[in-house]
Amino acid sequence: MPTQYSIGLDYGTNSVRCLIVNVANGAEVAAAVWTYAHGTQGVVLARDPNLARQHPADYVKGAEVTIKQALATAKKTVKGFSPAQVIGIGVDTTGSTPLPVDKQGQPLVFQKKFANHPAALAWLWKDHTSVNEAAEITTLARKLRPQYLAKCGGTYSSEWFWSKLLHCLRTAPEVFNAAHAWVELADFVPASLTGTEHPSKFIAGVCAAGHKAMWNAKWGGYPDAQFLSKLNPKLAQLRARLTPRVHTIDRAVGRLTAAWAKRTGLTAGIPVAVGAFDCHLGAVGSGQARLRQHVQKQPVRRRVARGRNLLNTSKLADVPGLCGIVDGSVLPGYFGLEAGQSAVGDLFNWLVNYVQPGGGKAGSHEELTKGALKLQAGESGLLALDWNNGNRTILVDQRLTGLLVGQTLYTTPAEIYRALIEATAFGALTIINRFEEYGVKINQVVNCGGIADKSPLVMQIYADVTGRPMKVSRSAQTCALGSAIAAAVIAGAHKDYATAQKKMTGLKPTVYKPNAKAHATYKELYALYKQLHDAFGTQGGGGNLYRVMKKLIEVRSRMRK
Amino acid sequence: MPTQYSIGLDYGTNSVRCLIVNVANGAEVAAAVWTYAHGTQGVVLARDPNLARQHPADYVKGAEVTIKQALATAKKTVKGFSPAQVIGIGVDTTGSTPLPVDKQGQPLVFQKKFANHPAALAWLWKDHTSVNEAAEITTLARKLRPQYLAKCGGTYSSEWFWSKLLHCLRTAPEVFNAAHAWVELADFVPASLTGTEHPSKFIAGVCAAGHKAMWNAKWGGYPDAQFLSKLNPKLAQLRARLTPRVHTIDRAVGRLTAAWAKRTGLTAGIPVAVGAFDCHLGAVGSGQARLRQHVQKQPVRRRVARGRNLLNTSKLADVPGLCGIVDGSVLPGYFGLEAGQSAVGDLFNWLVNYVQPGGGKAGSHEELTKGALKLQAGESGLLALDWNNGNRTILVDQRLTGLLVGQTLYTTPAEIYRALIEATAFGALTIINRFEEYGVKINQVVNCGGIADKSPLVMQIYADVTGRPMKVSRSAQTCALGSAIAAAVIAGAHKDYATAQKKMTGLKPTVYKPNAKAHATYKELYALYKQLHDAFGTQGGGGNLYRVMKKLIEVRSRMRK
């Protein structure tokens, strides 16, 4: 039998990646990346810094461009490679990134009428325009449906599905009224590839639905119509038009259409797996089920998954501040526990791309890393909060902002860079501590994603701050690899995920071990971080500072109107 | 009679300036600036960011270089100008900037033995290595001599004379023991020019002695020997060697030596006035006595002076947090009330020179100003504390550091620049409020210094934040002009300061008036600033944040050892 390959399509915030993987051993034989054409690095921005949208045309074009290019590369580099050897496709994306669609399941923004309407675009995960709606949903659920909140950490976020829909309904009713339904990006792409966009065929993944849209089999799917009506009757009407078919990633949504086969050079009819969020499939790509018990850490957003076999479901506590506890959201048969930071890599990118320190010469990630490596823990006197994009876990509050303290007249960019890295490490430790407080012991941390792969500085700081060894997934494209594994499983190359992961994943030999001296210093600094965290982030934090960041945002919003 | 000129020598943090002024009308006919040769921009730094020293050789060379160059310029540009028309010299400097001298009054660092010893250099005003000693002096004075503290705001600062001496005694006893005396830069330069360095002739100004060394005629000069002995008996011994001749600026310390006349081209024997701090002579140069009642504001450091005729001395309250209330420190016959921020221009320079934002292209003061001008109050959502160099007034705490809050993933350098400007304005308002709380009404604010002259952005923000019109001194070199006025008075060109100021000073026609809308927004932001100020800067501020900045500095100091 000739070698078989599968494709993982990984839709990130700025670009889409296509990875071609040998299903027998996980070897990544070819890859291609395409940066979305619209907006700034693929993100449509506005004067309101809360707004972040994307154009669905980029999603469609991105699949074509990257698949073609990856196939071309494979043909050049792999002897005898033929696109016919690709047996399936898996898809992972950012989320919650919902977009309004028409009765045919096509993006509303594809219609001339809505071509220039920002509300008709996809609402990127980091769009925080729906802060008020999120608060309203949280308040209502707290009163009427506490069970909904218990499974998503106690607070419904402005990053999530219903907040965004309600905000659209209020601020752009013409778009909301014209939309037949809203679909998550993770579901939109597989539907496009398989021609199953039409509502009669459309399939949604449990990952997006469960973590972002309060879908739960226990209460019959999405939040009930009565509850949604209290927010707005139109939401209840929309609920009736959302697909009842919500599945885990062990099945296909359909088969690649002839049109897509022609566009890409792939074989028509190969299966496309149910889509899921990048970090959930990243957990798969890092070998999650094989390891059975670990923290799945991805520097941009962090998910924690734990085998149900180890923690009886009936005893699995609801963990306040988590982004969701969803049966089957990572792998069928396991509960996925998701936690995350709203910005990690984005925070470092902010310094490099927006502040552009060092007079242009010394302001690259590489140069700042060199400078930061020369510093010891605590040496700069700086301390930061990692909230430039709000706090997803454990405070679940998007109306929080960044903070830097300790500057002198001699503070350098490298010191600031290191302080931002440390801040994200302190944020990660806060999440780990929260899990453990609620009985979910974190025994192992596996890192994946670009930063884990490229930055020994970041990994060492994470080890030193958390006091835990940092392991790194073997693949540099763990999310895309996870998608390719899903493709391999649904195409029948492996009997189940456990087998596929055993064959196709692994860890790097390098393990970052905590340095005892640095860890001791970071313990002191973490106590200070926690003081800032509680003072600015919690009502009872003291100093009347809880309102400071929020009031600044209120003033900012007013002035930008 | 031919036109008469006087010279003002202005010793700043990075450079010295010589200004030649027509005594009849204040016209500034020539100027020259020389950046000190030693260290970074004239400041000798070390790994410890608290350390800031200067080499006295730069003070001597700076006088020669700038006087010669200014005279040469005047010869070229003023028809018939002759150096013989210069009738006197005045000197203003930074402070407290004390330096150790030998038995001849010569800087110890001029001796081979101490040529490379950092403790033998001049201890620049912003040297904060003496934090512990300042606390110790404050504690002892609070117990034994509360009257000492009452006149300097309730806290003795690490920036000041005795803190620095005590720190030298403890950390570099070989320097302290070798020093016959310590002299302030403001006194050192006039003594050098007149050959009165020898202790038998040496004269000190009341400005430096009164504001920085707790000198007060009421208690017989410097702090008494018994008090100093409790700190260290050697301080009491040193006290006995300090000059008993402490004068206001209405007299000369001596006459220009033949050697200096030869070096510069000036006439030997012209008088040199008693020296004073830059901002005190800046108050003179802005027309202080003529206006009788105003806030004298200089962006780098801010002094407030108020006529005694308007506020009876017996009723002048001790204002907590002030840097001193000293009879005659600005003008003879008036009380000088000094308050100040530890960094204003330095804070903006930190962003431009150390962070170097904007990739080198957009990171200049000019470009950042352009960007900041496009922003409205509150629009960035940022708020900063202006404490990168500690807080001189009203907290009098050098173990405070900078803070920036409100960053998003899109925060720009121009937004940060504006936030830093606003922070210094909030700091200024905090000082104004403190004056008024203690009965010193601030009716008028006159700004002087480079920023007032060059930055309408800063002036408008100050007007909008304080809700007060901002006036600007006519001269762009108000401190140097003040020195030249002192020179004119002691040379007999005018019968007194009031007359000299009437002739030689003025205001610019432009007055920055507060914008009502911006002021309303800044009122909201100031309330938030005050919350941060109190939380991080005061014991009772809540949130346990008072210790955060201090603890960070403790850790930093430990790690740098």
Residue A489 CB partners (closer than 8 Å, separation 6+): A249, A250, A273, A496, A497, A500
* HSE value, Cβ hemisphere, 13 Å, CA-based, for A526: 21
Q: Assign A288 a pLDDT band (cuts: 50, 70, 90).
A: low
In-domain check, residue B403: no
> Looking at the DSSP assignment, which residues form a beta bridge with residue B252?
B273
Residues of chain B with Cβ-Cβ distance to A537 below 8 Å are none
Q: What is the pLDDT of residue B313?
A: 33
Q: Torsions phi, psi of A327, nearest 5?
A: -65, 120
Range B353-387 burial, b when 16+ CB lie within 10 A, else e = bbbbbbbbebbebebbbebbeebbbbbbbbbbbbb
Q: Residue B480 is inside which H or E element, if any?
A: helix B478-490
Find the mean pLDDT for residues B517-521: 97
The pLDDT of residue B14 = 94
Is B235 in contact with B182 (CB distance < 8 Å)? no
Q: What is the mean pLDDT of chain A?
A: 91
Chain B contact set for A360 (CB, 8 A) = 356, 359-361
Residue-level pLDDT at A560: 81
Using CB atoms, pick whichever of A45, A406, A552 lies closest to residue B549.
A406
Q: Residue A388 burial by CB count (10 A; 0-12/13-18/19+): exposed, middle or buried?
A: buried
pTM of the full structure: 0.84
Interface with chain A: mutation pick from B127, B349, B400, B405, highest number of A CBs within 10 Å? B405
Percentage of residues in chain A with pLDDT exceeding 70?
Answer: 94
* Domain contains B224: yes
Residue-level pLDDT at A304: 34
In a domain, A433, yes or no: no
Task: Judge whether residue B309 has pLDDT over 50.
Answer: no
Nearest partner of B489 among B67, B6, B71, judged by Cα:
B6
A551–B528 CB contact, under 8 Å: yes
* Rounded-to-integer distance, Cα B225 and Cα B273, Å: 30
Q: Which segment, A44-58, A329-343, B85-99, is predicted with the most confidence on average? A: B85-99
Q: Please, are residues B169 and B119 in contact by the beta-carbon 8 Å criterion? A: no
Sorted by sequence, the CB contacts under 8 Å of residue B495 that are 6+ apart come out as none
Chain B residues within 8 A of A417 when measuring between CB atoms: none
Give the C-alpha separation, A163 to A185, whole Å: 16
Does residue B299 have a pLDDT over 50?
Answer: no
Instruction: List the domain range (segments joined by +) for residue A10.
Output: 5-273
Q: What is the mean pLDDT of residues B347-359?
A: 94
Contact (Cβ atoms closer than 8 angstroms) between residue A73 and residue A18: no
Q: Is the pLDDT of residue B427 over 90?
A: yes
Interface test with B, best of A354, A383, A550, A561 (most B CBs within 10 A): A354
Q: Choose the weakest-confidence range: A439-448, B33-42, B312-321.
A: B312-321
Tell me, what's the pLDDT at B314?
Answer: 36
The stretch A458-472 carries a mean pLDDT of 96
pLDDT range class, residue B543, cuts 50, 70, 90: low
pLDDT digits (tens, 9 = 90+) for B64-73: 999 999 999 9
Residues of chain A neighbouring B405 (CB-CB closer than 8 A): 401-404, 536, 548-549, 552
Q: Which CATH number does the domain housing residue A210 bear?
A: 3.30.420.40
Q: Is the CB of A80 inside 8 Å of chain B's CB atoms?
A: no
Give the minimum alpha-carbon distance from B243 to chain A in angstroms, rounded to a whole number.
35
Q: How remote is the C-alpha of B99 from its chain's centroid? A: 16
Which residues 269-328 on chain A approach chain B with CB closer than 8 angstroms? none
Q: How confident is the model at residue B92 (pLDDT cuts 50, 70, 90)?
A: very high
Q: A-contacting residues of B 39-58, CB under 8 Å?
A: 45, 49
Return the CA Rg of chain B. Answer: 22
Which pLDDT score, from 0 to 100, does residue A557 have? 86
Indicate the pLDDT class of residue A542, thresholds 50, 70 and 90: low
Closest residue on chain A to B390 (Cα): A408
Using pLDDT thresholds of 50, 70 and 90, give the confidence band for residue A180: very high
pLDDT at residue A291 greater than cutoff 60 = no
Q: Which of B404, B524, B552 sits opposite A555 (nearest CB)?
A: B524
Q: Say whether pLDDT at A292 is over 60.
A: no
**Nearest one of B258, B128, B122 to B189, comparing CA atoms:** B122
Distance (Å, whole) CA B422 – CA B3: 44
Q: CB–CB of B287/B478 below 8 Å? A: no
Contact A265, A83 (CB under 8 A): yes
In a domain, B243, yes or no: yes
Tell me what the mean pLDDT of segment B409-433 comes to.
Answer: 97
d(CA A313, CA A542) in angstroms, rounded, equals 37
Q: Which residues of A346-357 are buried (b: 16+ CB within 10 A; e: fewer)?
A: bbbebbbbbbbb
**Which residue of chain A has the CA closest to B382?**
A552
Contact B379 A560 (CB under 8 A): yes
Tens of pLDDT, residues A201-241: 999 999 999 999 999 999 999 999 999 999 999 999 999 99
Contact A175, A261 (CB under 8 A): no
Instruction: Pick B552's closest partner by Cβ from A406, A416, A534.
Output: A406
SS3 for B75?
Answer: helix
Domain count of the fold of chain B? 1
Is A344 within 8 Å of A424 (Cβ atoms)? yes
Which residue carries 């790690």 as its tokens? Answer: B559
Q: Hey, is the C-beta of A371 within 8 angstroms of any chain B C-beta?
A: no
Per-residue pLDDT of B188-232, as tens digits, reads 999 999 999 999 999 999 999 999 999 999 999 999 999 999 999
In a domain, B385, yes or no: no
Sign (positive or negative) of CA dihedral A512, A513, A516, A520: positive
Among candidates A341, A483, A320, which has minimal Cα distance to A400? Answer: A341
Q: Look at B543 and A535 and tell me if their CB atoms are within 8 Å.
A: yes
Model pLDDT for residues B129-141, shown as the tens digit of each residue: 999 999 999 999 9
Q: Distance, in angstroms, between A245 CA and closest chain B CA?
A: 37
- With CA atoms as reference, the chain B residue closest to A407 would be B402
Q: Which two tokens stand for residue B83?
A: 């150096």
User: For a pLDDT cut of 90, what percent of chain B falls above it?
Assistant: 79
SS3 for A224-285, per residue?
CHHHHHHHCHHHHHHHHHCCCCEECCCCEEEECCHHHHHHHCCCCCCEEECCEEHHHHHHHH
On whether residue A531 sits in a domain, the answer given is: no
What ipTM was predicted for this assembly? Answer: 0.83
Residue B497 lies in a domain: no
Question: Measuring CA to CA, how many Å separate A53 from each of A95, A98, A167, A346?
Answer: 12, 10, 14, 16
pLDDT at B315: 52
- d(Cα B57, Cα B46) in Å, to the nearest integer? 19
Nearest CA in chain A to B525: A552
Listed range (A150-154, B110-114, B281-285, B309-313) with the worst mean pLDDT: B309-313
Give chain A's length.
561
Task: Name, in order, each residue with C-beta under 8 angstroms of A220's C-beta and a sequence gap of 6 or more.
Answer: none
Q: Can you tell me the distance from the alpha carbon of B542 to that of B548, in angstroms, rounded to the nearest whole number?
A: 12
Q: Note the pLDDT of residue A303.
A: 35
Residue B520 sits at the chain A interface (C-beta within 8 Å): no
For residues A93 and A99, is the Cβ–Cβ distance under 8 A?
Answer: no
Residue showing tokens 């410890």: B48
Name the burial class of residue B508, with classes exposed (0-12), middle (13-18) and buried (19+) by CB atoms within 10 angstroms of its CB: middle
What HEC string does A104-121 produce? Answer: CCCEHHHCHHHCCCHHHC
Report the distance separating Cα A93 and Cα A80, nearest Å: 31
Q: What is the dihedral of CA B387, B389, B394, B399, to 10 degrees?
A: 90
Contact call for residues B410 and B272 (beta carbons, < 8 A): no
Distance from CA of B555 to the nearest CA of A (A): 6
Query: Closest to A357 (Cβ–Cβ): which among B357, B406, B411?
Result: B357
The tens digit of pLDDT for each residue in B150-189 reads 988 899 999 999 999 999 999 999 999 999 999 999 999 9
Residues A426-446 have pLDDT tens digits of: 999 999 999 899 888 887 788
Residue B544 in contact with partner chain A when CB distance is under 8 A: yes
For residue A213, give every residue at least 6 positions away whose Cβ sits within 8 Å of its Cβ, in sequence order, or none: A96, A160, A161, A162, A184, A222, A223
Answer whether A380's CB lies under 8 Å from A371's CB: no
The mean pLDDT value for A92-109 works out to 97
Inform me whether the C-beta atom of residue A520 falls under 8 Å from chain B C-beta atoms.
no
Q: How confident is the model at residue A373 (pLDDT cuts 50, 70, 90)?
A: very high
Angle at B491 between CA B487 and CA B493, to 5 degrees: 95
Q: Which residue has the tokens 């990952």?
A: A207
pLDDT band at residue A312, thresholds of 50, 70 and 90? very low
| pLDDT bracket for residue B409 (50, 70, 90) | very high
- Does residue A192 sit within a domain? yes
Please report which helix (H) or strand (E) contains residue B141, including its range.
helix B131-144
Measured between CB atoms, does A559 come within 8 Å of chain B? Answer: yes
pLDDT at residue B272 greater than cutoff 80 = yes
Beta carbons of A521 and B555 less than 8 Å apart: yes
